[in-house]
Amino acid sequence: MMDRRGATVIFGMAAFVGMGWLVARRLRFAQPAEAHTSPTVFESEPVNAFDERLRADLARLKTRVYSEEGIPMFLVCENLALKTVSQASAAAPSPTVNKTLASAFRRYADAWQRIRPDAPASDVAKLVEALADRDFANGGDGKSL
Amino acid sequence: MNASSKFSESAAALGELWASHSLIRVVNFHNTPRVKAEQFERELAHYSRHFSSVNEDDLDQYLITGHWHKSKPGLIVVLYEGYRDGYDVLMPLLERHGFTGWFFIITGFVNASVADQLAFAQSHRIGMETREYPDGRYALTWEELRALDRRHVIASHARSHTQLSLLEPDILEREVIGAQEDFQRHLGHPVRSFASLRGPAHGEHAATDRLVEAAGYDFVFSNFLIQRIRSKEKS
C-alpha cells in the first residue's frame, strides 16, 4: 500500500524531474517575459504577511493525501503540431489573467526564497500547487492570490 | 551550484513559460472513495459555478486558436490510474455538475484479474489508502470504460505505471504502443491523450517521443505541460 510518505516522495521526485527538464529547456522559451501587470489585491499585501500566508499554505498542503484528493494545478499549453504558440489564456476570456498568474507566480517564488533560502528546485511545483489552490478557491477571478 | 540557485533557475524558467504560453486549469484525482463523496460534491459544485468543462475537441481548438470559446474558463478534470470508484463515485458527480472526466487508464491494472489487482496496485505505485470493495475489484472493467467512453475522455496512462525513461526499448514499446493496442481492442478505437508516470514531456526522451508519435497519440500530459504533438487531420 502506498502511504502518505510514499505519495509525497513520488510527488517530490516527479517535481524534481520535471523542473530539471524545464531548466534544460529554458533557452527554448527565453522569449521576453511579459511585464508585470497592474497591481492586484495581493500586491498590496505587506511582505511579511504575504510570506507568512504562503508559509502557512504550504504547511497545510503537506497534509494532503495526494492519492485521494482533487489537486488543483495549472498546465502550460504548447502546440507542437503546428509550431505556433497560443498566447491567449484558456483560464478566462481576458488574457490579462494569464499575466496576473505569471506575475503572482514570480511573487511566490521571490517570497519562498526569502522564507527558505536553501529551497530545492522541487519546491517550485509546491508553489504552483499553492497558487492553484488559492485561484480555484477564488473561482479564478485573479484576485487575492 | 547550490540548492537555492537551482530553485531560482527553475522558478525563473517556469515563470517565463507561464508568461509566454497559455495556461489551463486542471484538477487531478486518483482514488475517489465513497467516504469522501460529499467533499468531492462540494468541490465540483464550486468548480461548476466558476469553470466550464473541457473535452478533447475543446482542448484541440484552444491549442490551435489560442482562444477559449466558452463563457467560463476551462477546467480539465483528470482521474488517474483507472480506479473502479472513478466510475461508481466520481462519474455521477461529474455528470451532475456538467464536467467531462479525463480518465487516464493504466491498462495493465484493468487487465489484471480481480485476484491480482491489489498486488498489482501495490507493486505499481497505485495508491490504495482506502479500500471500499470487499470483492477485491479495484480497477475499472472494460465494460465500464466503454460506458465512460460515450460521454467522457478515455486516455492512456501506459500499461504498467512505470518511469518510461528507465525502460529497455522492447519494454518501452509495450508500455506505449501496447497500451494503445489495448484501447483499440477493447474500445474499438485508439485514444488521443497520453501521460506517463513522472512524465516525460514530449521532447524530453527521444525513444518515448518516437513511440508516442507512432502510437497515434495527439496530446501529451506531463507535470507542467499539455502538448499537442499531432494534428487531427494527420490521423
Q: Is the pLDDT of residue A51 over 60?
A: yes
d(CA A47, nearest CA chain B) in Å: 19
Give B11-45 pLDDT, tens digit per residue: 999 999 998 888 999 999 999 999 999 999 999 99
Look at strands B101-105 and B74-81 and give their pairing. Answer: parallel
Neighbours of B143 (CB within 10 A): 10
Report d(CA A98, CA A92) in Å as an integer.
8
Q: C-alpha cell of B230?
A: 499531432
pLDDT bracket for residue B183 (50, 70, 90): very high
d(CA A24, nearest CA chain B) in Å: 9
Report, as an integer, the average pLDDT of A86-98.
50
Q: Which of residues 36 through 75 in chain A touch B, CB cutoff 8 A?
A: 65-75
From the list A19, A91, A118, which residue is nearest B24 (CB)?
Answer: A91
- Burial (CB < 10 A; 0-12, 13-18, 19+), residue A129, is buried
pLDDT bracket for residue A38 (50, 70, 90): very low
Give B130-179 pLDDT, tens digit per residue: 999 999 999 999 999 999 999 999 999 999 999 999 999 999 999 999 99
Neighbours of A82 (CB within 10 A): 11
Look at strands B225-228 and B219-221 and give their pairing. Answer: antiparallel
From the list B63, B74, B76, which residue is nearest A79 (CB)?
Answer: B63
Report, as an integer, the average pLDDT of B74-96.
98
**Average pLDDT of chain B, as a whole number:** 94
Q: Is the pLDDT of residue B121 over 90?
A: yes
- The predicted pLDDT at position A39 comes to 43
